[in-house]
Amino acid sequence: MKICIIATENYLYDTRMYWKEAMSLRNKGYNVTCIVMSEDGVEEQGVTDEGIKYFKFINKIQPYVCKMFSDIYSKYTFTKNTFKTILEFALSEKYNVYHLNGLYSLFMVNAIKKHTNSKIIYESREFYPDAIRDYNITCGFKSIEKNVYSYYMDLWEVYNAGKCDCIITTDKFINDRFKLKCSNKNIHIVYNFTDIKPIDKVNWSEKVYDMIYCGGVTKVRGIMQLLQCVNIGRKYKKNIKLLIIGPTEPSLKCEMNAFINDNNLQNNVEVLGRIDFKEVTKYLEKSKIGMVTLLPIPKYKKNVPMKQFEYMAYGLPIVGSKLPPIEEFTGKSEVGILVNPLNPEEIWEAVYTILNDNDIYKRFSDNGIDAVSRKFNWDISEKELIDIYNKLL
């Protein structure tokens, strides 16, 4: 069986799309091709070391024209020629299933249905209407334009997803949205649980960092509050150390550096930027507490942050936000302390409590390892994914 994954929002080695889904399908005997964004502006095709065929596309000239939403539309979607290139490659071979990842991959549904009899899966990882509103800072008429566009895309996504044979979501909030609004009722949750194997016990001799943050480095993910937390904590623990891993926008990087330099935190904060996925576990092993202090924007009140499961797998107690997707997993599993992410002092108090109470640390650490071993692991999600494919074919 041949599978074509079209991911309009991901680079090739995306954690979920490639290392989890594509590899799970490959390991079960499926022939997998991935169509993804080029990370370096070069159109390329080939085969990975894991035996997965790929095509990297770049954005072409001649953009779609949408005058009313021109700014925000061009930011999120691709040009007409780009979609044409993607479709030409996707239709160049006969596939049994097209697995569409990302909102704008739905632009290809009608063409795939017209030219093939293949099954189509649509996967939604984001609550896109909220993402459009939350990730774009606007004022005046631009705010009205943004809100109108987000509501339009809400209807557009649900309508086009309804044309697919199956819809995969990554959490119950997105799942409930499609079940409520979509004509297609073949909807399943495949949680983005970690594929990192849980450790047997914590190795204290390897610990270097008191706190670690992994993921996209943005203001809405609470990065400035974490820096403020370190600045407060240094008064009580002079050598407090925070490690930040993940891609950072240039403008925010300047603001972070200014805060670090103004407060003499050069020895307390280490910023690594983007690293290879395979390197992440090395730094988890060197860290004591995992930070998931996302700000309370609408999107984060719905989407489940994957990093909490990675922290659990390595026995890291968690300091997380008092938000439903974190309360459901970190809170109920008793693997950390939940805080108001807008309050750096409260964040520090939670960090201090965990670092200075061995019994609390061990309880949170053991609970996290146990939770991943029993229920929050990719093996469980993989079974759901393969079951979807088996039933569809």
> For 295-313, how does the pLDDT look when each residue is reduced to its tens digit (9 = 90+)?
999 889 988 999 999 999 9
DSSP assignment of 120-164 = EEEEE-S-HHHHHHHS----THHHHHHHHHHHHHHHHHHHHHTTS
Q: Do 154 and 296 have their domain in common?
A: no
Residue 123 exposed, middle or buried by CB count within 10 Å (0-12, 13-18, 19+): buried
Q: Can you give the pLDDT at residue 72? A: 53
Percent of the chain with pLDDT over 90: 75
Q: Do 187 and 283 have their domain in common?
A: no
Q: How many domains does the chain have?
A: 2
Is the C-alpha dihedral spanning 41, 47, 51, 54 positive or negative? Answer: positive
Of 370, 362, 364, 348, the closest CA to residue 210 belongs to 348
In a domain? residue 198: no
Q: Do 138 and 234 have their domain in common?
A: no
> For 331-378, how does the pLDDT look when each residue is reduced to its tens digit (9 = 90+)?
999 999 999 999 999 999 999 999 999 999 999 999 999 999 999 999
Q: Can you give the pLDDT at residue 78? A: 72
Q: Can you give the pLDDT at residue 141? A: 64
In a domain? residue 321: yes
Q: Do 53 and 150 have their domain in common?
A: yes
User: Among 128-137, 187-196, 225-234, 266-275, whose mean pLDDT is lowest?
Assistant: 128-137
Q: Do 254 and 149 have their domain in common?
A: no
Phi/psi at 241 (nearest 5 deg)?
-135, 125
In a domain? residue 269: yes
In a domain? residue 235: yes
Q: Do 239 and 298 have their domain in common?
A: yes
More confident residue, 275 or 263: 263
Q: Can you give the pLDDT at residue 136? A: 65
Q: Can you give the pLDDT at residue 146? A: 74
Q: Can you give the pLDDT at residue 133? A: 73
Mean pLDDT calculated for residue range 143-152: 78
Percent of the chain with pLDDT over 70: 94
Q: Which DSSP helix (H) or strand (E) runs through 368?
A: helix 358-374
Q: Do 229 and 308 have their domain in common?
A: yes
Of 282, 220, 201, the closest CA to residue 245 belongs to 282
Is the C-alpha dihedral spanning 80, 85, 90, 94 positive or negative? Answer: positive
222 in the Ramachandran plot: left (φ > 0), alpha (ψ -120 to 50) or beta?
A: left
Check pLDDT > 80 for residue 140.
no
For helices 223-233 and 250-262, angle between their N-to-C axes, nearest 10 degrees: 10
Confidence label for 62 from pLDDT (cuts 50, 70 and 90): very low
Average pLDDT value for the chain: 91
Q: Can you give the pLDDT at residue 277? A: 78
Q: Do 381 and 306 have their domain in common?
A: no
Phi/psi at 95 (nearest 5 deg)?
-115, 150
Q: Do 185 and 212 have their domain in common?
A: no
Check pLDDT > 80 for residue 71.
no
Q: Can you give the pLDDT at residue 153? A: 84
Check pLDDT > 80 for residue 289.
yes
Q: Give the C-alpha distances (Å, rounded to integers) separating 371 from 234, 242, 308, 329, 368.
A: 32, 25, 11, 9, 5
Confidence label for 270 from pLDDT (cuts 50, 70 and 90): very high
Q: Which residues share a beta bridge with 339?
A: 321
Q: Do 213 and 330 have their domain in common?
A: yes
Mean pLDDT calculated for residue range 28-53: 95
Check pLDDT > 80 for residue 43.
yes
More confident residue, 32 or 128: 32
Q: Do 74 and 185 have their domain in common?
A: yes
In a domain? residue 199: no
Q: Give the C-alpha distances (Å, rounded to integers) separating 94 from 6, 14, 35, 116, 285.
A: 14, 24, 15, 8, 44
Check pLDDT > 60 for residue 76.
no
Confidence label for 138 from pLDDT (cuts 50, 70 and 90): low
Q: How far apart are CA 108 and CA 89, in angstroms?
A: 12
Residue 92: give the domain boundaries.
2-193+377-392
Check pLDDT > 80 for residue 139.
no
Domain CATH number, residue 132: 3.40.50.2000
Q: How many CB atoms lie within 10 A of CB 391?
A: 10
Q: Do 144 and 189 have their domain in common?
A: yes
In a domain? residue 293: yes
Confidence label for 64 from pLDDT (cuts 50, 70 and 90): very low
Q: What is the pTM of this model?
A: 0.87
Q: Can you give the pLDDT at residue 204? A: 81
